[in-house]
Amino acid sequence: MANSREQPATVLRRIISSPGCHQGPACFDALSAKLIESAGFSYCITSGFSISATRLGLPDAGFISYGEIIDQGRLITQSVKIPVIGDGDNGYGNAMNVKRTVKGFIDAGFAGIILEDQVAPKACGHTRGRKVVSREEAVMKIKAAVDARTESGSDIVIVARSDARQGVSLEEALWRTNAYAEAGADVIFIDALGSVEEMKAFCQVAPHVPHLANMLEGGGKTPILNAQELDQVGYKLAVYPLSLMGVSIRAMQGALSAIKVGGIPPPESLPSFEEIKEIVGFNDYYKEEERYATTTDH
């Protein structure tokens, strides 16, 4: 966990440099981020898929804007002490837009940023119709991200993602991620790999750079492996983009069904009111409030 003097990126870099494959569930708002932190995870990510769904009620198909992501991200990073890797989509435009996006993520308190090589409008990498920009443009955007970091005097972790596995071929995705590492990316990531063999082939690319695995839950294209298995394959980070949103959807559907037939959700399906108050911070608030109590009643 970070102390008050450490930058989020410094903490994240220390996590990445430590042994093992480190799990980072995805949050979509401040409450889900706080739950991840309370569960003992050392970092988390933001899921553009989940933020688009929960903030806009729309699919991850390029609807959500840079400003909305920054606004949501700032609320998330301010709510927790663990480092947060932000989903920067395709940088919201060309190389100049990427520079603005990286600087905005730094200012919003993110420890890292994921940037992908999809064309606009982008979409979830496990859905159909993925298309990517040219090799030259994709590499130049990573270089722009590195320049933005340098210009800002920051150490934000740049995660370069390729969607070329679905958009072109495995070979193209391997070439691109190697080029991204050479351009200065700190972590590389191919989305929607289709087998353990493909995952192993990816982890042979730029072995000096950490690799990220996307464990898309509920029927994605990539096999779901546990952290120990991912470590053996060669991954350093493993993220889980839909777990919290997915179980929230199912739980809310169940609660609404119970209410609709005249009841309330069964006690075992939800925390007590006292537990809810603890989770959202009422008890900490009361302790803080006592520090500033006065003898005068108003």
Cβ atoms < 10 Å from Cβ of 236: 21
Q: What is the C-alpha to C-alpha distance for residues 93 and 141, in angstroms, rounded to an integer? A: 9
Report residue 240 as tokens: 């889980």
Among residues 113, 126, 238, the alpha carbon closest in space to that of 191 is found at 126
Q: What is the C-alpha to C-alpha distance for residues 260 and 247, in angstroms, rounded to an integer? A: 20
For Cα atoms 153, 156, 159, give the angle at the middle one, nearest 5 degrees: 140
Residues 6 or more apart whose CB falls under 8 angstroms from that of 190 comprise 161, 162, 164, 165, 173, 174, 177, 202
Report residue 280 as tokens: 């959202």
Among residues 56, 5, 9, the alpha carbon closest in space to that of 159 is found at 9
Looking at residue 1, what DSSP letter applies? Answer: -
Among residues 82, 101, 69, the alpha carbon closest in space to that of 25 is found at 82
Query: Quick check: bond before 121 cis, omega within 30?
Result: yes
Report residue 130 as tokens: 């993925």
The pTM of this model reads 0.93
Q: What is the C-alpha to C-alpha distance for residues 286 and 163, in angstroms, rounded to an integer? A: 48
Report residue 185 as tokens: 């990316």
E-strand spans in 117-170?
Answer: 157-162
**Residues 78-112: tens digit of each pLDDT:** 999 999 999 999 999 999 999 999 999 999 999 99
Q: What is the C-alpha to C-alpha distance for residues 101 and 259, in angstroms, rounded to an integer? A: 43
Residues in the chain where the model's pLDDT stays below 50: 1-3
pLDDT recorded at residue 2: 47
